[in-house]
Structure 1
Amino acid sequence: MGKAESGMSTTLPLEGFRVLSAEQYGAGPYGTMYLAQLGADVIKIEPPSKNGKGGGDTARHVGPHWLREEESLYFQSFNLNKRSLTLDLRSEEGVEILHKLVKNSHVMANNLRGDVPAKIGLDYESLKAVNPAIVCAHCSAYGRDNERAKWPGYDYLMQAEAGFCALTGEPEGPPVRFGLSMVDFMSGTQMAVGLLAALLDAQRSGKGCDVDVDLLSAAVHQTSYPALWYMNEGDVTPRAKRGAHPSATPSQMFKAADGWMFVMAQTPKFWPILAEKIGHSELTNDPRFDTPVNRLKNRDVLSGLLDDIFGTHKVAHWQSLLEGSVPIAPVYRLDQALDNPWLETIGMRDTISHPDNPEMKVLSSPIKLNGKRLPNKAGPLLGADNDAVLGEIGYDADAIGALRSKGVI
């Protein structure tokens, strides 16, 4: 039991709700993991292995780090707290099992290619006769209702087409993608929000529906205020040096004596505080920097002056001087970010038990209930819950053995 789990005594809000999910890789599993951590019984439906090899979520086979053969550490990132059921959804017996599960479930989720859910019967039209209140949530690359429905698609493509890459990096450099698959994570979370809203309505009305989120739409939606600037004013937001904010200055990375830091005088009130704290109040009276408009106009000059000042001391000096008064953060490498003692203070690192690693380190949920992080338990081994799940819908040991021998599970 992890630290977060041991501290949780409150009943979790989604206990009693069952979510079936035909999911793979990142976006869908990331979204349903939130539901599992909030107490839902998330049953992860995965393709059976053949001859003891392969099968399961593609994420199980992503290296370079392994818990056992064909069980990756990568998989754990998106599948904590779930159960695993292997099931051939293209077989008659597999569909029969699916319908028995749907009858007593609340959500059928998937993140398959847009044209697949209807083909294999995972949409509301296919399942409403089995359970009129079922909510069918779909997270696809381009949606299910257009000519791109058959297109395969991934996060990096969305970052490219939605403008993220063109907005990221130094002005003189090539386009740059985010270091992480943020569109996947955004899309999975948005799917979870949509299906929870539909679930609330289904509990009141007794009628479910389809909920759709696609990666490209989610990515485009995240362009937010630059999108509105362009659509209304024809203003194309350019890249700015050192990741600077497009309009607020100084709000960017600066080089201290021993590394980089991000300093944000994001709103006008912080500028005089920053100038005073670093011992240069005269900057606030300089006509080049006395208003937000002038600071933006003279950003390069101001950046050079601040570089000279910040370069006289280490990051720790400036952080101790400014923190709590002016927004500031060190620019950490990934190892520094995860070894930051503050994560222990706020409980964002957890230790849980996995069959192959009794002290597996994972990240805690960012959600708290009554001041406590949500509980974590290891993601399931492939098909680990076949017997339990099938037993819950009436299959005995002999029937389960027969399904296994036929390759249905």
Structure 2
Amino acid sequence: MKPLQDVRIISLEQYGAGPFGSVHLADLGAEIIKIEDPGVGGDVGRYVPPYAQGEDSLFFETFNRNKRSLSLDLTSEAGREIFEELVRRSDVVYSNLRGDVPAKMRIRYDDLKHLNPAIVCCSLTGFGMTGPRAAEPGYDYILQGLAGWMSLTGDPDGPPTKSGLSLVDYSGGFVAAISLLAGLHAARRDGIGGDCDVSLYDTAVSMLTYPATWHLNEGYRPARTRNSAHPSLVPFQLFQARDTWFVVGCAKEKFWQRLTTVIGRPDLATDSRFATFAQRQRNSEELLAELDRIFAEETAEHWLSLFGPAGVPCGPVNDVEQALREPHTVARGLVVETEHPNLGTVRQVASPVRFGTETPTYRRAPLRNEDFDLVTREILNLDPTRVEELAARGAFGPDGVRKPAKTAGGARAAAGSGTSL
């Protein structure tokens, strides 16, 4: 069995942050049942351009492999009945919504504990379910600015800069997954579930880590650094060789000693200005000017070919194509394939979360409402007459018991990631 094969999660998720958190659980074997709103065409991630066909997109495939899909209108009484039956048979209700929405939708622990006292209700929201911003929508870009990240990113003479990836979203997804697993462990131990009130905002602020500690205790004011330099360790940054950029990081004194030997300047290691971490930081302008001059004399490949064997932490500045072709990427099995009826063979990156020695397996993301029969017949054991009655009462939205289309239809444009409105 896969590690989480005995876990069932009802997921009210969309876009990036929520689905990113749960896809790792799905890869570990958890049964993730995505509840998709039939009134809006399901998860809006299905329609994110530019690589979208009908109700399927490469964006959606990235975050939803190994999951199940059920179209369910939770605003209808009949849809709520089915949802509550699923709660009785599940371990977790997981969502990424605006902070005031879980209460409105009645998906918190106090709303559901009468159905299943051990249910865990994990809500990943923009700003949490309490506080002055609880009712505001939260998105990665906004939070990178609000939490101080952008003030730390980019060169000193440039504008504040966001990360090239949605790191608040993805970090928030990991935090939600960890919280969910902690809640599940406690519920199975004690028989009592509860709420996981986690947010993108909390995640972003907590990741300020040691610069925040330095500021809170010593008044340190972080600032952007030239060539993405580490705020205190020197040298630990980008350097420009004769042809392109590369990274060198001396996070220990032994690495600095090795570096000076490799570049033919052992005198720098014994120079009183550069002998220790503190002295190198104090005299960084002089030291970095000398290193810039030395590194500009040869190619990046030349320096990396010397640093690697000498045990000096270093690396090239790859683009995405180069990173995906790296021999180590291939060796670690980080590019995987699934087969999709509309998109064909879909290649994407694997989850980094691993347990045991068994090779992970992957199933493509579900078509919308693809698992209608699985949920209604196998999980809920509903007879056809009951299904038709629920459909007539609007449980499954305007399409009733609509089955997923096998061919692509018209495309709808949508964009964004993070927590939904």
TM-score with structure 2 setting the length: 0.90
Instruction: Indicate which of 351, 354, 358 corresponds to 1:365.
Output: 351
Q: Deviations over 1:53-95 (max 9, x none)?
A: x4111111111112x2131111111111100111111110010
Q: Say which is worse superposed, 140-149 or 92-101, in terms of deviation.
A: 140-149
User: Where does residue 4 of structure 1 map in the other structure?
Assistant: none
- Say whether the 8 Å CA contact 1:365–1:373 is kept in structure 2: no
RCO higher in 1 or 2 (8 Å CA, sep ≥ 6)?
Answer: 2
> For residues 63 and 258 of structure 1, do their structure 2 counterparts lie closer, same or farther at Cα, with a shift above 3 Å needed?
same
Q: Is 1:191 aligned to 2:176, yes or no?
A: yes
Question: In the TM superposition, what is the alpha-carbon distance from 1:339 to its structure 2 partner?
Answer: 2.2
2:253 alignment partner, SS class = coil
Q: Is 1:115 aligned to 2:71, yes or no?
A: no
Q: Is 1:100 aligned to 2:90, yes or no?
A: no
Q: Distance in 1 between matches of 2:219 and 2:293?
A: 36
Q: Say which is worse superposed, 241-250 or 332-341, in terms of deviation.
A: 332-341
Q: Distance in 2 between matches of 1:405 and 1:90?
A: 14
Q: Deviations over 1:330-350 (max 9, x none)?
A: 011122212223211111111
2:242 alignment partner, SS class = coil
% identical aligned pairs: 43
- Say whether the 8 Å CA contact 1:347–1:373 is kept in structure 2: no
Question: In the TM superposition, what is the alpha-carbon distance from 1:291 to its structure 2 partner?
Answer: 2.0
Q: Deviations over 1:166-189 (max 9, x none)?
A: 000001111000111101111111
Which amino acid letter does the alignment assign opposite residue 319 of structure 2?
A: R
- Say whether the 8 Å CA contact 2:55–2:367 is kept in structure 1: no
Instruction: Indicate which of 191, 194, 200 corresponds to 1:206.
Output: 191
Q: Distance in 1 between matches of 2:312 and 2:391?
A: 62
Q: How many residues align?
A: 394
2:258 alignment partner, SS class = helix
Instruction: Indicate which of 362, 386, 400 corresponds to 2:372.
Output: 386
* Superposed counterparts of 1:186-335, under 5 Å: 186-324=171-309, 325-335=311-321
Which amino acid letter does the alignment assign opposite residue 134 of structure 1?
A: I
Q: Distance in 1 between matches of 2:233 and 2:272?
A: 17
1:156 alignment partner, SS class = helix
Q: Distance in 2 between matches of 1:161 and 1:307?
A: 34
Instruction: Indicate which of 119, 125, 132 corresponds to 1:147.
Output: 132
Q: Is 1:29 aligned to 2:16, yes or no?
A: no
Instruction: Indicate which of 330, 334, 342 corresponds to 1:348.
Output: 334
Q: Distance in 1 between matches of 2:388 and 2:335?
A: 40
Question: In the TM superposition, what is the alpha-carbon distance from 1:312 to its structure 2 partner?
Answer: 2.1
* Superposition CA RMSD, Å: 1.5
Which amino acid letter does the alignment assign opposite residue 395 of structure 1?
A: L
Q: Distance in 2 between matches of 1:400 and 1:355?
A: 27
Q: Deviations over 1:110-145 (max 9, x none)?
A: 011111111111110110000000000000011112
Q: Distance in 1 between matches of 2:365 and 2:343?
A: 12
> For residues 297 and 102 of structure 1, do their structure 2 counterparts lie closer, same or farther at Cα, with a shift above 3 Å needed?
same
Which amino acid letter does the alignment assign opposite residue 279 of structure 1?
A: G
User: Where does residue 134 of structure 1 map in the other structure?
Assistant: 119
Question: In the TM superposition, what is the alpha-carbon distance from 1:148 to its structure 2 partner?
Answer: 1.8
Question: In the TM superposition, what is the alpha-carbon distance from 1:259 to its structure 2 partner?
Answer: 1.1
- Say whether the 8 Å CA contact 2:334–2:350 is kept in structure 1: yes
1:269 alignment partner, SS class = helix
User: Where does residue 411 of structure 2 map in the other structure?
Assistant: none
Q: Distance in 2 between matches of 1:390 and 1:94?
A: 12
2:63 alignment partner, SS class = coil
Q: Distance in 2 between matches of 1:266 and 1:248?
A: 6
1:387 alignment partner, SS class = helix
User: Where does residue 383 of structure 2 map in the other structure?
Assistant: 396
Q: Deviations over 1:187-207 (max 9, x none)?
A: 111111111111111111111
1:368 alignment partner, SS class = coil
Structure 1: runs of 5+ lacking an equivalent: 1-10
2:64 alignment partner, SS class = coil
Q: Is 1:374 aligned to 2:364, yes or no?
A: no
Question: In the TM superposition, what is the alpha-carbon distance from 1:406 to its structure 2 partner?
Answer: 5.4
User: Where does residue 402 of structure 2 map in the other structure?
Assistant: none
- Say whether the 8 Å CA contact 1:48–1:407 is kept in structure 2: no
Which amino acid letter does the alignment assign opposite residue 63 of structure 2?
A: F
Question: In the TM superposition, what is the alpha-carbon distance from 1:372 to its structure 2 partner?
Answer: 4.3
Q: Distance in 2 between matches of 1:329 and 1:362?
A: 23
User: Where does residue 3 of structure 1 map in the other structure?
Assistant: none
> For residues 245 and 366 of structure 1, do their structure 2 counterparts lie closer, same or farther at Cα, with a shift above 3 Å needed?
same
Question: In the TM superposition, what is the alpha-carbon distance from 1:288 to its structure 2 partner?
Answer: 2.2
User: Where does residue 47 of structure 2 map in the other structure?
Assistant: 61
2:18 alignment partner, SS class = helix
Q: Distance in 2 between matches of 1:305 and 1:373?
A: 48
- Say whether the 8 Å CA contact 1:199–1:208 is kept in structure 2: yes
Q: Say which is worse superposed, 138-147 or 126-135, in terms of deviation.
A: 138-147
